[in-house]
Amino acid sequence: MSRIGKKPVPVPSGVTATVAGQTVKMKGPKGELSFNVPEELKVEKSADGVIVNMIQDNGPTRSKWGMSRTQIANLIEGVTKGYQHDLEIHGVGFKASMKGKDQLTLSVGYSHDVVLTIPAGVEVKVGGAKQELVSVSGIDKQAVGQVAAEIRASRKPEPYQGKGVRYKGEYIFRKEGKKK
């Protein structure tokens, strides 16, 4: 049995939770998000918050049970606090810049600049003395994480010199080079 799925998701004050069939909508100070619960599960709103229950107790349903409860909890956190990922760019001449509000240009050691289009609902800011800090924020956890992962994938940190794009605070295991 899922220990996560059993717990009701508490709805804080300032957040409006609406359950209509298999759709859960959350509206808060930062915006509005929704999630479609799989058909094998039943979702209802009570005084304790939003409760997710299984219709049948079998393996595939049990695996979706805890995930659906966590997705609903992520909706609440997104509309109240939001999500943010900070990235650092390391390397000589490596930098980032914004073109408008929806295009991020990365100069990360290739013969060309890497241009990434930022989707709606996600905000990207570039800062630092040498434009080496990139901050990705928004209310949708999946979208913010995906954009941050695409930025990091443009030039993953390499283990010999440590150059590349990394999450803030990420440890890069360094290797020793060749010896004579």
pLDDT at 99: 92
Q: 0.85 cut: is pTM over it?
A: yes
Do residues 67 and 43 lie in contact, with contact meaning Cβ atoms separated by under 8 Å?
Answer: no
pLDDT band at residue 59, thresholds of 50, 70 and 90? confident
Residue-level pLDDT at 2: 63
In order of their start, the domains of the chain are 3-80 (3.90.930.12), 83-167 (3.90.930.12)
Cβ partners under 8 Å of residue 35, min gap 6 = 23, 24, 68, 71, 72, 75
pLDDT at position 92: 93
60 pLDDT higher than 90: no
pLDDT in tens, 62-79: 889 999 999 999 999 999
pLDDT tier at 129 (50, 70, 90 boundaries)?
Answer: confident
Res 1 pLDDT > 80: no
Which has the higher per-residue pLDDT, 115 or 48?
Answer: 115
- Report the percentage of the chain scoring pLDDT > 90: 82
> ∠ CA 142-124-82 to the nearest 5 degrees?
45
Whether 130 has a pLDDT exceeding 80, the answer reads yes
Element (H, E) at 17: strand 16-20
